[in-house]
Structure 1
């Protein structure tokens, strides 16, 4: 019996909780997602100038028909479908992307994540594992693939092995990485569930120092929806919340149109898009930022990887 068949039907509440944590692991959006999802119909109050998700999706689908050999087009469609909860559709688009760009670890790990989330019964499908293995072969440090391969150990019963792998990922996690808090929370939860002591080790674990390219622009005073901004927005009437957040992002884009050479603002736009759960738009911001600043491509890509932008 294959490993995936052994795990079939094993989507327990514990496993689902771990996979949901993985769903937001690289999005840096858990705070926004909580209050956005509780905001009822507030999304209808967003500015009319903002395209509806269905319109944005239609535009991306049209692009793949126009540019069927563009891995970037398929990647952005996959990210958009993932953002909308269409995990099977996301996987299909990512499959097209990796066929055209098979050397991208980020695309392979994004495909693996989509395949996991598309599965209703098997917590770690064989095809998802195949994608994560390809990502690791290309980039042994890929954080998403490492996280999910540890999830495989956990759902397979090797809880200590999973925790050890998550600790190893935590040790390699750069200071300020958006997934650090969620990774720590996962370690705490799995440790508590299986009565494995992790508190002392967590207390003694510190994120590694940043490289020059990884210095977090998100921490600087550049306008954009930070967690404190989102907390403030949550105190507003529900109909005003999305308007406030969208206004911040629109302000960033306006400044970039006036000064596309401002690399920090491109990074902040990527961060803002990821915070809003708009990973396809974050990927477009990366592409546009590099086009406007080819000399800063390495820095933009490093920051995009830090933020979990698909395809970075």
Structure 2
């Protein structure tokens, strides 16, 4: 695309839809949707975002060869809508860990969001293609490659690709509802009837090792808890949520071998929009449970934890 032409109104709508779709996968989930400032960084009871960012930057200086450190910094910068900074951090991460499809797709997304005019920069496309080469099922890369088709004029092809992604999406995946909404929105924009196909589409049954099976049975904050908290005054919201997450973390300190609780902590962090903390929970959980690293990583991928 010639970026001198800028984005059309349709392309802008697609990118908005893209951002909403990836919300579940990158952390801007129900909690942020209920707020009046959806692009604001998630608050922390421990330190202001600037202090957290400084700590993450310090970690990359002390651990310049750590993909985890650069991934956490990239996720934090993305949370702060510093997409250029997120791109730079993810580029460092993929240079260290080039075999991670999740890192390549996170880099591609950051490059898309950093672009002010071109809805699919060549560098972003390259990152998504590398992600797909490593993992043909990477949902973020598949989504954005369909976006590429749509902004190129192949609206039906894009919708077909999104339906294929929907067919592979497990029941309860964070992006499922937003993917359906995206298909509806793009169909409406381009006068393509998708209602019957959506009605016939059923979510894929969960495999035995996929996240919601384990996590739903773990005591701790659920999306319903978060939504209930959103009805409280802000101070009570913060106290309620922090109490739940603190309780979960306390259990992990007492028993770091509880893999299911690490999964729940990742889900809680993603629901709160704390993607950097979710990435740290993945790293800590794998360090404490090397024998369960494959399972933790698979579940983190389902949640959309950066770098998974």
Q: Which interval holds the TM-score relative to the shorter structure?
A: over 0.9
* Number of the residue aligned with 1:10: 7
Report how many aligned residue pairs link the two structures.
Answer: 304
* Number of the residue aligned with 1:233: 229
> Which one of the candidate residues 238, 241, 255 is aligned to 1:242?
238
CA distance in 2, matches of 1:192, 1:303: 33
In angstroms, what is the RMSD of aligned CA positions? 2.0
Residues 207 and 28 of structure 1: CA distance in aligned 2, closer, same or farther (over 3 Å): farther
Q: Does 1:255 align with 2:251?
A: yes
What CA deviation, in whole Å up to 9, does each residue of 1:239-284 have, x standing for no partner?
Answer: 2212222221111101110111111110000000111111111111
Matches within 5 A, 1:83-98: 83-98=79-94
What CA deviation, in whole Å up to 9, does each residue of 1:121-150 have, x standing for no partner?
Answer: 111111100110111111111100000011
CA distance in 2, matches of 1:299, 1:195: 42
What CA deviation, in whole Å up to 9, does each residue of 1:37-91 have, x standing for no partner?
Answer: 359x9x88x74xx122111111110111111111111111111111111110000
* Number of the residue aligned with 2:138: 142
Matches within 5 A, 1:45-194: 47=45, 50-194=46-190
> Which one of the candidate residues 275, 284, 287 is aligned to 1:288?
284
What CA deviation, in whole Å up to 9, does each residue of 1:2-59 have, x standing for no partner?
Answer: xx326850252423322322441413643211223359x9x88x74xx1221111111
Moved more, 10-19 or 294-303: 10-19
TM-score by length of structure 2 reads: 0.93
* Number of the residue aligned with 2:34: 35
What stretches of structure 2 of length at least 5 have no aligned partner? Answer: none
CA distance in 2, matches of 1:56, 1:218: 30
TM-score by length of structure 1 reads: 0.91
CA distance in 2, matches of 1:220, 1:25: 17
Residues 55 and 217 of structure 1: CA distance in aligned 2, closer, same or farther (over 3 Å): farther
CA distance in 2, matches of 1:168, 1:70: 35
What stretches of structure 1 of length at least 5 have no aligned partner? Answer: none
Runs of 4+ in 1 over 4 A off after TM superposition: none
What CA deviation, in whole Å up to 9, does each residue of 1:165-203 have, x standing for no partner?
Answer: 000001111121111011011001111121111111111
SS at match of 1:212: coil
